[in-house]
Structures are given as C-alpha cells and as structure tokens.
C-alpha cells in the first residue's frame, strides 16, 4: 500500500500508540484485500457497543485507547436503554459495565448516540458518493444502496480505527468495479410493508455476499428498502443491492442484468409468515418492533395502530433517542397502550430479550438473529399482525 509521509509517521508511532495501532489495523485489512492506499472518510459508525457482545475484553481494548476521533463517529445500539434499563429488566451489574463502555467511547470524542439508523439524525447525513466506515450491517446496506455512499462492512475495531485516523483502506465497495450487480432477483408479485423484510430474508439466503439487482413490480419507500437491506444483510451477507430504476446507482446507470436470475414468487413470501406460525403464543411472549430502529413515519404508523388500545402482552418499539425525543406525542400514544418505546438498544443486542421465551417481530433481520443470538423462538408478522398478537383488553 502506498502511504503518505504523514501516514508513515503514524505507522512509526510518531503520533502515539493509539494511532499506530489504528493504522496497523487499517493496513492489515488493506493488505488482505489488495487496497492501494488509504482514502479520507466522511464519518464512521461503530459497532461493538453492547456489553453483551463485546464483554470485558472489548471494554478493556477501548479503554486503553487515547486521543480523539478525526471525523464524526457515532455508536451502534448498546445493550440497554441507557436511561430506562431497569424497566427493561437489565441487571445493575450489566448496566454498570454498559455505562463504562459508553464513557470509554465518549473519551475518544465519539458521539454516544446509539443507533443503527444514524442517517435519520440531523447533522449525521451521508451523501451520494461519500466514503464512510460504517459497521452495523443494515446501516451499511442502507448507506451503500439507498444513499449511494460507499462503505465496506467494517468490524467495530476497524470502524473505530478509521474514525481515529480519518481514513479507511481503499478496497471493496469503495471501488466502482465492485459495485456492479452480480445476480438478478425478479419478484413476481406486488409488495408492501413487512413483505420487504420477508423478501430480504429469502433473497439473502440465495444471494449470499453478492450484489443483487432487483426487478420489482412496484416502487418501495425508504423504510421498505431499509427492511429489505437489513434482512438480506442478516440471512445472507449483502452489503450493497440495487433496485432497477429506484436506488440511486440504478437510476444513474443502466446495468446489464447479470446472467443468473433468481425468481421469487408470492407463495414463497407467504411461507415466511407461515413459518413458525405454529410457535405457540405463550405467556412469556414479547412483541418487538423497530429492527432497524424506527423512523418517524414508522413510529407514527405504530402510534395510529395502538391508539386507544390497552395491550395484554409486553411490547417494545425500538428507535433512536433522537427520533423518540423529536416526536413526544407519538411516544406518549404508544406508551399509553402499555407498550414501551425503547431507545439506544434493540431486541437483538440487549440481554433483556433472554427473559422471554418467544418473540414476535416484523423484521426479517430480527427473525434471523433472535433465535441465534438471543436463544428464543421468533415468529414473523406484519406490524398489524404484531399489534393484533399483543391483544387489547379494552375489547373484552
């Protein structure tokens, strides 16, 4: 890799041990993936925040670093609502460690808002063509596909290293040649809402880590694209996709449809809903919405559906603290029903999920990860199905 004089000095330790470690991580990745140089980034989004996933070893690693990040950097969801962790059933021991992790990042100048949808936050916008170092898989997919920015799927340490150096290695999705579609996916029915999560759940399994070009019968909105990308990033390893005539790169470029074409039929989408429908409703069940974190539109939709109800099962609605505090009337309507608007965390990275036996979700990503990462059963439905499942004692 070609290094500038300044980068060489950083590598030789002239700017301290933290920056030396950080550039070593970036160079190691660059050398593995054949990068020619480091390129400046506009922002970083750092995974590896929940104490559940990084444990004491992660906390120690972050605490040993010093200095400040050089570009805007923000955190992925933590393991609990940082203010209402007791209401979630998180233990004081876990909460203490979680707060220590947040403080360690804060010391490095990282913005400690914890969300997988940083693109909803004012002042953290990514634009078409921007080079980024983001790490949460749904955020990576959204940035690459829906915004047209450029990021690899960074690990927590490499995203933090990129933030400290202000650069990342120039390989993978930073390069034009790796952004072309390599497989077509044709969907034979019209879709709406959570169908996009179901489609992503199915497509990810067939597509793996390739770049799919979708041919859809109708045009999805931003939240539907978010759900599609999140699910594909979990059931497969898709970090970039295009939708013919919809996503920005597919609008600018007439892509040659790849030879391989995967066809997805309506019956397959329906099967995702049917799958585990038999997972019995049980007392120890929770309904969890907001994977990825809800937008204001999604919060408004949930509030409309819950208005005037008193639900009988526990329900979390996950979003960022910033979206929640910008729409207090929506939060209040949702919480009057008995549901909890959970900020800073989610159903997958919080240990509180393990207090339940069954989780109903409207997200293809959560459907993949809840059984594997939280060890409880998951079933899938639309937002409307989920709210119906929660019950309404006013109806009795």
The interface mask with ligand F3S, positions 298-327, x = CB under 6 A, is --------------------x---------
Nearer to ligand F3S, 136 or 285 (CB): 136
* Nearest CA-CA partner of 150 in 275, 41, 27, 263: 41
**Taking the complex as a whole, how short is the minimal distance between the CB of residue 99 and ligand F3S, in angstroms?**
19
Q: Could you say whether residue 226 binds ligand F3S (CB under 6 A)? A: no
* Separation of alpha carbons 238 and 229, rounded Å: 7
The pair phi, psi for residue 38, each rounded to 5°, is -95, 145
Between residue 11 and residue 30, which ones bind ligand F3S under the rule CB under 6 A? none
The number of beta carbons lying within 10 Å of the beta carbon of residue 371 is 14
Nearer to ligand F3S, 302 or 318 (CB): 318
CB-based contact 262:203 (threshold 8 Å)? yes
**Taking the complex as a whole, how short is the minimal distance between the CB of residue 292 and ligand F3S, in angstroms?**
4
**Taking the complex as a whole, how short is the minimal distance between the CB of residue 271 and ligand F3S, in angstroms?**
22
The number of beta carbons lying within 10 Å of the beta carbon of residue 61 is 16
Q: Which of 210, 242, 365, 379 binds ligand F3S (CB under 6 A)?
A: 365
Question: According to the 3-state scheme, what is the secondary structure of 141-156?
Answer: HHHHHHHCCECCCCCH
> Which residue stretch of 55-63, 254-262, 286-294, 298-306 sits at the interface with ligand F3S (rule: CB under 6 A)?
286-294
The interface mask with ligand F3S, positions 228-247, x = CB under 6 A, is --x-----------------
**Taking the complex as a whole, how short is the minimal distance between the CB of residue 58 and ligand F3S, in angstroms?**
16
* Separation of alpha carbons 368 and 4, rounded Å: 43
Query: What b/e readout covers 284-314, taking b as 16+ CB neighbours within 10 angstroms?
Result: ebbbbbbbbbbbeebbbbbbebbeebebebb
**Taking the complex as a whole, how short is the minimal distance between the CB of residue 138 and ligand F3S, in angstroms?**
4
Nearer to ligand F3S, 213 or 348 (CB): 348
Query: What b/e readout covers 347-363, taking b as 16+ CB neighbours within 10 angstroms?
Result: bbbbbbbeebebbbbbb
The number of beta carbons lying within 10 Å of the beta carbon of residue 373 is 17
* Separation of alpha carbons 2 and 167, rounded Å: 13
* Separation of alpha carbons 56 and 283, rounded Å: 34
**Could you say which DSSP state residue 12 is in?**
T
CB-based contact 379:358 (threshold 8 Å)? yes
Nearer to ligand F3S, 25 or 78 (CB): 78
Nearer to ligand F3S, 330 or 346 (CB): 346
Please name the residue ranges forming H helices in the chain.
5-11, 17-33, 51-63, 85-88, 92-107, 137-141, 156-165, 195-207, 222-235, 248-252, 266-274, 296-306, 321-326, 328-336, 364-369, 383-390
Nearer to ligand F3S, 22 or 225 (CB): 225
Between residue 84 and residue 123, which ones bind ligand F3S under the rule CB under 6 A? 116
Q: Which of 292, 338, 351, 391 binds ligand F3S (CB under 6 A)?
A: 292
Residues in the chain: 396
Q: Which of 29, 160, 198, 291 binds ligand F3S (CB under 6 A)?
A: 291
**Taking the complex as a whole, how short is the minimal distance between the CB of residue 39 and ligand F3S, in angstroms?**
26
Q: Which of 97, 131, 150, 293 binds ligand F3S (CB under 6 A)?
A: 293
Q: Which of 349, 352, 359, 376 binds ligand F3S (CB under 6 A)?
A: 349
Q: Which of 77, 181, 197, 364 binds ligand F3S (CB under 6 A)?
A: 77
Nearer to ligand F3S, 317 or 366 (CB): 366
Positions in the binding site for ligand F3S (CB under 6 A): 76-77, 116, 136, 138, 230, 291-293, 318, 346, 348-349, 365-366, 369
């Amino acid at each position: 890799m070609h290094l500038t004089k300044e980068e060489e000095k950083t590598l030789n330790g002239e700017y301290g041990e933290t920056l030396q470690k950080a550039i070593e991580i970036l160079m190691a990745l660059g050398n593995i993936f054949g990068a020619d140089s480091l390129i400046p980034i506009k922002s970083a989004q750092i995974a590896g925040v929940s104490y559940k996933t990084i444990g004491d070893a992660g906390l120690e690693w972050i605490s040993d670093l010093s200095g400040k990040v050089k570009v805007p950097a923000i955190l992925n969801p933590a393991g609990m609502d940082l203010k209402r962790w007791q209401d979630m059933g998180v233990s004081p021991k876990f909460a203490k460690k979680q707060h220590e992790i947040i403080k360690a990042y804060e010391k490095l100048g990282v913005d400690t808002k914890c969300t997988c949808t940083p693109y909803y936050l004012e002042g953290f916008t990514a634009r078409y063509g921007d080079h980024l170092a983001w790490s949460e898989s749904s955020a990576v997919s959204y940035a690459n596909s829906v915004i047209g920015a450029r990021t690899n799927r960074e690990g927590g340490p490499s995203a933090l290293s990129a933030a400290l150096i202000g650069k990342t290695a120039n390989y993978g999705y930073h390069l034009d040649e790796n952004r072309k579609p390599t497989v077509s996916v044709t969907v034979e029915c019209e879709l709406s809402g959570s169908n996009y999560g179901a489609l992503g759940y199915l497509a990810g399994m067939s597509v793996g880590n390739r770049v799919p070009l979708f041919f859809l019968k109708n045009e999805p909105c931003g939240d539907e694209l978010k759900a599609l990308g999140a699910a594909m990033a979990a059931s497969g390893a898709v970090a970039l996709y295009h939708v013919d005539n919809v996503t920005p790169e597919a609008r600018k470029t007439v892509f040659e449809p790849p030879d391989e074409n995967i066809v997805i039929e309506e019956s397959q989408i329906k099967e995702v809903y049917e799958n585990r429908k038999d997972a019995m409703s049980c007392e120890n069940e929770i309904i969890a919405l907001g994977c990825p974190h809800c937008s204001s539109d999604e919060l408004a939709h949930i509030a409309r559906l819950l208005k005037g109800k008193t639900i009988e099962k526990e329900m979390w609605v996950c979003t960022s603290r910033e979206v929640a505090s910008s729409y207090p009337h929506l939060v209040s309507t949702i919480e009057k029903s008995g549901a909890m608007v959970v900020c800073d965390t989610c159903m997958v990275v919080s240990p509180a999920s393990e207090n339940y036996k069954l989780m109903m979700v409207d997200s293809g990503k959560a459907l993949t990860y809840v059984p594997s990462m939280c060890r409880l059963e998951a079933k899938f439905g639309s937002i409307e199905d989920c709210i119906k499942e929660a019950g309404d004692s006013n109806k009795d």
